[in-house]
Amino acid sequence: MAIGVKVAKGSSQKARARRHFRVRKKIAGTTARPRLVVSRSARHLFVQIVDDSIGQTIVSASTMEEALRKDSQNDKSAKARIVGKSIADRAKEKGITTVVFDRGGNKYHGRVAALADAARESGLDF
């Protein structure tokens, strides 16, 4: 394992940790182009736009927000699309149009892909 990578228990966790390390050594958010970070749990999805030059979160959205927690009819991919649209709208309010996408070691599939597609459709460029 490379330095700075947490050693996870299962083989899928190790693979995700390796992918995350590989992605993070190549990309970093700047003031001109901040980093769109996706964090995923079994039930929820968390998204932040981070400026790594000052180490500050500019905008965030998640499925933990009250409107999405009450809505139990949508599946997880549908909620990911809603979060993608809301992060793009909040970013536009702050004047952010282009970002660098950091999938956090997760495969670009399912909820992560749905979130990214919705953010792109809402005007975020990456």
Tell me the pLDDT tens digit for each residue of 92-119: 999 999 999 999 889 999 999 999 999 9
Q: What is the C-alpha end-to-end distance of the chain, expressed in Å?
A: 30
Kindly list the domain boundaries of the chain, sorted by start residue.
29-121
Residue 6 pLDDT exceeds 80: no
As a whole number, mean pLDDT of residues 64-82 equals 88
CATH topology of domain 29-121: Nucleotidyltransferase; domain 5 (3.30.420)
Cβ atoms of 96 and 49 within 8 Å: the answer is yes
DSSP-assigned letters across all residues of 31-67 = SSS-EEEEEE-SS-EEEEEEETTTTEEEEEEETTSHH
